[in-house]
Amino acid sequence: MSVNLKWAMAAAALLMILSGCGSNNYLVPPGAHANNGQIAADQQAVEERYQALQFNLQRAVATEESALVKDPTWAAGYSRLGQLFWDADQPHAALKEAQRACALAPKSQTYWNNLGGMAVSMQQWSLARHAYHHTLHLDPANWQAMVGLGQIAVALHQWNNARVLADKALAVAGPQGPIYVLFGEVAQNANDWTTAATYYRNAIAANPAWWEGYYDMAIVDVHWGEIAQAESNIRQALHDNPDSAAPWILLQSLPQTSSTRP
């Protein structure tokens, strides 16, 4: 078996694994490469940071709950509590608080979009659609809700619908990282990696401090066998979002050899 064929098979397997990974939850996989001291050191630093974060989150939750006892109609408090639960890896509790915030402040586009985002991450498609459609009822030009509906379309392999939603969002909002990522995912599904790379680069240019553009570009780098560039983009993603699962999994799964793009 040729080296190129072996690499293609390894890359395909890796991409299949990554396609099923969540990208927003903390997960530094155990057992970082024993022979890679940098990754092991990075992993230890993130785990220590995570432990400190969890302690602070517990205190913040207690404080927020005390405030809500005094004023149980405070929508912003429920929204904040929902985000704290989400950060503490308690998604069902987070979703409940997000729903309370929407019920108390039904005209808040932010609360509905937050609820939609949580529901998408939990694959509760019906609830997510309801939330985003409610946002669009309040503001038909809300591009975040359009992108949210596009994410649902991508998850359900409704590629044409995703492209239509991306076009609408770009028309009303102009260059935005999440919009370009949505375009890129549609192109990547069509096996048009060159176009996908262009969109991911556009996402980075539009939001250079946002981790996901770099992560998605790293996926393209892996497909092309450009391992050094993939690692560089992954580390850029981790600089912005060091607790995210997918970049860590990709970083620790990179092969030790590289090839050049065809």
Domain boundaries, the chain: 30-140
What pLDDT was estimated at residue 233?
Answer: 97
| 76/209 Cα distance (integer angstroms) | 27
Of 220, 206, 154, whose CA–CA distance to 177 is shortest?
206
What pLDDT was estimated at residue 83?
Answer: 85
One-letter amino acid of 31: G
**Residue 107, CA distances (Å) to 75, 124, 136 in order:** 11, 22, 11
Rg (C-alpha) for the chain, rounded Å, is 20
Which tens digits make up the pLDDT trace of 173-230?
999 999 999 999 999 999 999 999 999 999 999 999 999 999 999 999 999 999 999 9
The tokens describing 151, both together, are 């994410």
Are the beta carbons of 104 and 82 closer than 8 angstroms? no
pLDDT tens string for the chain (262 positions)? 443 433 444 444 444 444 433 334 444 444 444 445 565 555 555 555 555 555 555 665 566 667 656 767 778 888 888 888 887 788 998 899 899 999 999 999 999 999 999 999 999 999 999 999 999 999 999 999 999 999 999 999 999 999 999 999 999 999 999 999 999 999 999 999 999 999 999 999 999 999 999 999 999 999 999 999 999 999 999 998 887 888 888 888 887 644 445 4
What is the SS3 assignment for 159?
A: helix
Task: Please count the other Cβ atoms lying within 10 Å of the Cβ belonging to residue 40.
Answer: 15
Superfamily of domain 30-140: Tetratricopeptide repeat domain (1.25.40.10)
Of 231, 234, 241, 213, whose CA–CA distance to 46 is shortest?
241
**Residue 100, CA distances (Å) to 8, 75, 83, 233 in order:** 48, 7, 12, 38
What pLDDT was estimated at residue 213?
Answer: 97
What pLDDT was estimated at residue 243?
Answer: 74
What pLDDT was estimated at residue 84?
Answer: 80
